[in-house]
Amino acid sequence: MYETAKPAWMLGPVREPFDRDVSRRIDVLRIILIGLIVLAHGARGITVRVPATGPVAGWMVETLNGHVDFVAVPLFFTISGFLFLRKFELSAASYGEMLRKKFVSLLIPYLLFNIGLAVWFYFVGSIEMMGSWGYLVQEGIVTKTLGLGTTPINYPLWFLRDLLVVFILSPVLLLFFKEAPGVGLATLFCLWVGVNPAPYSYYGDFFMFYLGGYLARTRFPLQGISWWQRWGTLLFILLTAALVAHKQLGITDEHARLFLFKCNLILGLACFWRISAIPFVRDSRVLHRMARHSFFVYLAHEPTVSILQTRLLAIWQPVGNAQQIAFYWLSGLTVIVLLWGVGEGLSRVVPKVYAVATGARLPAAVLSRG
């Protein structure tokens, strides 16, 4: 269990090999969660760009975008913390090496896909609901490119900026693991639910990241299907329904609603982990293949969604529930499959360029060719 040189409540790093079942489930979740993010950002096609949203379509968007899709980002932070904090031990050399790797895998793609969008604004033109060159100059090119105190040019990439900050400050989390891991978990949770009302904040980022490391270092049973996955899934479904209908149920206090909302995000982690255990999901060759390019889909999805929906709406105004629901799924899934195909093609035609742009490791065969 724990290292004998330390008290049981001091969590040491995990030395044993990575479990294959856990690895495969994390792999398929990468593309599933990215898919939810694409669909969430594409929902504006019917909530903003279409004059009248049908009641059923509106309920679908409220349930998915307002609650279910919100689990994607916290789960990504939890997975990142699980993979990173399970073994990381602080030293000057290891910290420096970690920063070098994160610069390659996070900061370079972040900058490239922000600068690339700025170049598009300058030479091609504006993208509806994303911005224009004039807007970029007004807000400050450097400020928007780096996302300093604001969303970056390619606004969904705020996640990479926040994740990089968490990695930089990760030594603070190791102090909790070595001295009082349970206190660290409780402290970060209280900061998240008590200081900032927003669902996403640095407090939430650090809590979810730490939670992932805590699960890894306590050897929490993630294999198979456990009771906590079943109960977490059931409670997530029930609480999501209650939050969607919170006004009808008399939940009028906003602080109480936000507290329940954040607790529901934690239950959502269990729900999606349970989904990843379904055999045709966990063992899907297509999902595993798509997962290889999930990061590229994430990096490029927002301008692609906006441009595609602008073209679609020029020839088709979805009216009524059926058409609007079809528009939501059609545009979102088209972008996911399209960018997956582009990623497959670029990784084969220009593997080195693709690897740099997405922070990926080059295959051994490509490296051997020089």
Taking only the tens place, the pLDDT of each residue in 171-183 is 999 999 988 999 9
Q: What is the largest CA-CA distance in the chain?
A: 69
Predicted model pTM: 0.93
Is residue 3 very low, low, confident or very high in pLDDT (cuts 50, 70, 90)? very low
**Spatial separation of the C-alpha atoms in residues 11 and 3, rounded to whole Å:** 8
Is residue 223 very low, low, confident or very high in pLDDT (cuts 50, 70, 90)? very high
Mean pLDDT of the chain, nearest integer: 92
In sequence order, which ranges of the chain are alpha helices (DSSP H)?
Answer: 20-42, 44-47, 55-63, 72-85, 92-102, 108-123, 133-139, 141-146, 158-168, 170-179, 181-194, 202-217, 227-244, 254-275, 279-282, 285-291, 294-315, 320-349, 351-358, 364-368
What is the torsion angle, in degrees rounded to the nearest 10, for the CA atoms of residue 326, residue 330, residue 331 and residue 336?
A: 150
Handedness of CA 2, 77, 60, 264 (dihedral sign): positive
Average pLDDT (32-48) is 93
SS3 for 149?
coil
- What pLDDT does 8 receive? 53
Percent of the chain with pLDDT over 90: 84
**Spatial separation of the C-alpha atoms in residues 310 and 46, rounded to whole Å:** 12
**Spatial separation of the C-alpha atoms in residues 191 and 193, rounded to whole Å:** 6
Is residue 368 very low, low, confident or very high in pLDDT (cuts 50, 70, 90)? very low
- What pLDDT does 282 receive? 97
20-42 helix and 254-275 helix, angle to the nearest 10 degrees: 130
